[in-house]
Structure 1
Amino acid sequence: MGNFLRLMSCSCLLILTGCWDSLPIDERGFVIGSAIDMAGEIQDKNYDITVTHQFVVPGNLSNLSQSGGGGGDKKAFQNISATGQSPFQITRNMLSLTDLIPNSEHLKILIISDEVAREPDLFSSVTDSFIRDHEMRREVKVMITNGKAKDLLENESDTEQLPSRHINNIMENNIKSLELIQSVRVGTLHQYLLNDDSYVLPLITLSGKDINYNGAAIFAGKSDQQVGTLSNEEIKGLRLVKGDITNGMLPFHIDGELMIYEINTANSSIAINTANPEKMDISITINTEGFIAEMFGSRSLLDQQYINKIEKEISKKIEQTVNNTVKKAQQELGIDFFNFSSILRQKHYDVWKKIEKDWEDGEKLFSQSKVNVTAKAIVRDIGASDKAKDDGME
């Protein structure tokens, strides 16, 4: 009996001491968004950065929501900035600026200024602590801005109390747009950094009080340095190459009239012929299905020959869009942001090991590769009307 009581006492002690380091919720400072800016010029590879964390002020959330948005007297957030060379160290130094302990469990977004992103190896250095932080979820969205990153965390919305949550919601609303790249999470960014593959990240800008989510920042995989940007039209080409599209709008012209093709599904297949490693053949085949969402003119869509002509024009438009993006990658930047390198590594490993140092650098074999694009578009539905207007209405 004595042994049993001693065993129970030890068990109780273990249970009671399990949460010895827990903090009361009112002492935690929940960070919902973070921003990183350059604090000054880089000298001899030494730099200072400014990290801004957006803390939620829970006591003011209900007040603002009752007033219908961001027009309350008290803000539901507090932005705190500090400067140094290490985001981890800077965050620890913030303890002297607030009576709350920073907690990143609810972090939604990480915004980084392009001043930071354009410095070789600096981007990977400043994101390292966000990748390693055991408190942080792998779903945090990472994005680039061409202005001050912390300014975006100050931009209040009429419909949302927390600027970080407003930006996060904007990033989520890219489902039906072919011009927007999908959000990139910290977990995905970690894979990019490990593989040395070039990649793209979403680009957001602040124009007055409006946040524009368009364009993309291109990063060279070797240096993890931003080397350029993609326009909305070029993003369409990138996404069509990547495939796996479930929604997207593609405007095109036929017989001088504008028509809108709404993509329901799109997939792509990529084959690389490595017979001549110094001039590889990359074949991209893109198949889409969709419907006519809008049209101008009076031609009937019940005419199968006209539908066939429309499908050819859509296919031509897809090929032209993709070829323009490929041209940007090969001739202007020499950067394989399509991740053809990943296909080579997976399916032609022996060849890849021989040429990997010359893919984007050295002999620049990516730029010398021949890329062939073939598209086939299918129109499954013409909508509720077979034409935009009657001939007699003209």
Structure 2
Amino acid sequence: MLRKLFFLFAVLSLLTSCWDSTEIEEVGFVAAVALDPIEKKDLELYKEQFQKETGITPGHLYKTTYQVFIPSAANGEGVATDDAFFNITSVGRTNFKINRNIAARRSRRLNYEHLKVIIINEELTKSGSMIGHLIDFYIRDHEMRRNALVFISNGAANGSLQHKLPLELMPTTSIKMVQENYKANHAMPPPKEIGDLAKDIINDQSYILPRITPFEGIDFKVAGAGVFLGRTNEFVGWLGEIDLLAYSLVTGDAFNAILEVDKDGKLFVFEIDTMGSVINYQRKNDQDYFQIDIKAEGFLGESWLGDIELSEDMNEKLEVAVEKEIEHLAKNIIDKLQHEFHADIFGLYKKVKQKNYRYWKGIEENWGGEGGLFSKATIDVSAKVKIRHYMTEEKVS
């Protein structure tokens, strides 16, 4: 009898519901967050208001825009209606307090379990270590996931959250899905998850963040990247679309990339099918020396060469033209990173560390930054290209 009662209670315990459950209709799921500075014309007003309410003169203030998704507002096919999401902005000194301020203005408690996108205005990142403070809350909170994508905005960060693109659920999903196209367009870098960003910050490593640019609140573009110097963790400048292509050539990740190459004043397009980059390091004559060898195979994807006859001899000349273009692009991006930004986003320091660990530990603190050893290193580049075939050549009669 006791055994039966014990079994009955055990089964009933499995049927009980969670005592602290929250109805999904009562929760506002934060899909994206945009961090912006306060406009100069409004800053003093916000500071005065903050001082009146708290008795404290704030050293800094910024505003956060939350894009909140309401699951109950989506139709049965998962398509958002006009009321499926809303944006709300709050001002404060810390993310934690800004987040709590929302509870005084909206009935739905904010939940971050489905946070997909974090956009940070470039103006907030120009003072040292500020980006680390800005993402600290999103790393520590137990609701957060480490796979939220981080972008740096050239312009208002909340400008990219204003309107969703056609056929998409909401602006957040539009941004996330556009970023997934990075393998098809080497003008954008690979996505940067907040967990990986936190590792770079902790390890004082230079890194890049995908750039997002809003267009009058009706569109956006993900292309280019912001460069951050590991030693100071501050934003030091932009890489353009061609810079990003060159970066992927140096790192050996330019699969499916296309190069528009000039040959005797006429253009042709080389599409990279397979490629690789080998980096060798030596320490000689008290100098850090790197040799970067880039190999690529691909196709003649488009020809504007006109009457130039395609032959084996011409094929070799086209290969040489592509090699020169790759070397030109690679040398330009290396020069920019060495002498303008002083940031080793290529990870060349890893080669030094592997080859001569004792030497690396002695110069680790003096690798990046202006006057650092990365800026003084000798870096040579060579390229070898193979055009496998011309694709199909047809004449239109």
TM-score greater than 0.5 by the shorter chain: yes
Q: Is 1:55 matched up with 2:68?
A: yes
Name the structure 2 match of 1:219: 228
Q: Distance in 2 between matches of 1:288 and 1:38?
A: 44
Kindly, what percent of the aligned residue pairs are identical? Answer: 32
Name the structure 2 match of 1:265: 274
User: Residues 236 and 322 of structure 1 are in contact (CA less than 8 Å); yes or no, is this contact kept in structure 2?
Assistant: no
SS in 1 for 2:89: strand
User: Residues 197 and 341 of structure 1 are in contact (CA less than 8 Å); yes or no, is this contact kept in structure 2?
Assistant: no
Q: Is 1:370 matched up with 2:378?
A: yes
Name the structure 1 match of 2:50: none
Partner deviation per Cα, 1:233-260 (whole Å, 9 max, x = no partner): 1111111111133211111011221000
The 1:257/1:317 distance shift into structure 2, 3 A limit, reads: same
The 5-angstrom pairing of residues 167-316 of structure 1 reads 167-208=175-216, 209-276=218-285, 278-296=286-304, 297-301=306-310, 303-316=311-324
Q: Distance in 1 between matches of 2:202 and 2:351?
A: 16
Q: 1:92 aligns with which of 97, 100, 104?
A: 100
Q: Distance in 2 between matches of 1:196 and 1:118?
A: 16
The 1:36/1:5 distance shift into structure 2, 3 A limit, reads: same
Q: Distance in 1 between matches of 2:263 and 2:370?
A: 44
| Unaligned runs of at least 5 residues, structure 2 | 48-56
Partner deviation per Cα, 1:269-311 (whole Å, 9 max, x = no partner): 11111245x520011111111101101112233x111111111
Q: Is 1:338 matched up with 2:337?
A: no
Structure 1 counterpart of 2:312, one-letter code: Q
Structure 2 counterpart of 1:338, one-letter code: F
Name the structure 2 match of 1:2: 2
The 1:57/1:305 distance shift into structure 2, 3 A limit, reads: same
Q: CA deviation at 1:59?
A: 4.2
SS in 1 for 2:281: strand
User: Residues 64 and 76 of structure 1 are in contact (CA less than 8 Å); yes or no, is this contact kept in structure 2?
Assistant: no
SS in 1 for 2:135: helix
Q: Distance in 2 between matches of 1:384 and 1:94?
A: 60
The 1:160/1:96 distance shift into structure 2, 3 A limit, reads: same
Name the structure 1 match of 2:34: 35
Q: Which moved more, 1:180-189 or 1:345-354?
A: 345-354
Q: Distance in 1 between matches of 2:104 and 2:350?
A: 45
Q: CA deviation at 1:367?
A: 0.9
Q: Distance in 2 between matches of 1:33 and 1:59?
A: 18
Structure 2 counterpart of 1:333, one-letter code: F
Q: Distance in 1 between matches of 2:84 and 2:9?
A: 46
Scaled by the length of structure 2, the TM-score of the pair is 0.88
Structure 1 counterpart of 2:334, one-letter code: V
Q: Is 1:20 matched up with 2:31?
A: no
Q: Distance in 2 between matches of 1:326 and 1:173?
A: 25
Q: Distance in 2 between matches of 1:102 and 1:148?
A: 23
User: Residues 360 and 367 of structure 1 are in contact (CA less than 8 Å); yes or no, is this contact kept in structure 2?
Assistant: yes
Q: Distance in 2 between matches of 1:206 and 1:64?
A: 29
Q: CA deviation at 1:216?
A: 0.8
- CA RMSD in angstroms comes to 2.7
Q: CA deviation at 1:121?
A: 0.9
User: Residues 245 and 254 of structure 2 are in contact (CA less than 8 Å); yes or no, is this contact kept in structure 1?
Assistant: no
The 5-angstrom pairing of residues 134-149 of structure 1 reads 134-149=142-157
Structure 1 counterpart of 2:225, one-letter code: A
Q: 1:379 aligns with which of 375, 387, 390?
A: 387
Q: Distance in 2 between matches of 1:64 and 1:157?
A: 18
User: Residues 155 and 214 of structure 2 are in contact (CA less than 8 Å); yes or no, is this contact kept in structure 1?
Assistant: yes
User: Residues 342 and 370 of structure 2 are in contact (CA less than 8 Å); yes or no, is this contact kept in structure 1?
Assistant: no
Q: Distance in 2 between matches of 1:251 and 1:61?
A: 44
The 5-angstrom pairing of residues 77-116 of structure 1 reads 77-116=85-124
The 1:4/1:126 distance shift into structure 2, 3 A limit, reads: farther
Q: CA deviation at 1:63?
A: 9.5
Q: Distance in 1 between matches of 2:58 and 2:278?
A: 43
Structure 2 counterpart of 1:280, one-letter code: D
Q: 1:351 aligns with which of 355, 359, 362?
A: 359
SS in 2 for 1:317: helix
SS in 1 for 2:107: coil
Structure 2 counterpart of 1:193, one-letter code: I
The 1:380/1:135 distance shift into structure 2, 3 A limit, reads: farther
Q: Which moved more, 1:144-153 or 1:316-325?
A: 144-153
Structure 2 counterpart of 1:243, one-letter code: G
Partner deviation per Cα, 1:146-174 (whole Å, 9 max, x = no partner): 21111211134344341111111221222
User: Residues 27 and 70 of structure 2 are in contact (CA less than 8 Å); yes or no, is this contact kept in structure 1?
Assistant: no
Structure 2 counterpart of 1:35, one-letter code: A
Name the structure 2 match of 1:127: 135
Q: Distance in 2 between matches of 1:40 and 1:20?
A: 45
Q: CA deviation at 1:371?
A: 0.2
Q: CA deviation at 1:381?
A: 2.4
SS in 2 for 1:184: coil
Q: CA deviation at 1:205?
A: 0.8
Partner deviation per Cα, 1:68-101 (whole Å, 9 max, x = no partner): x9xx7x3421111111122123223222222112
Q: Distance in 1 between matches of 2:159 and 2:308?
A: 50
Scaled by the length of structure 1, the TM-score of the pair is 0.88
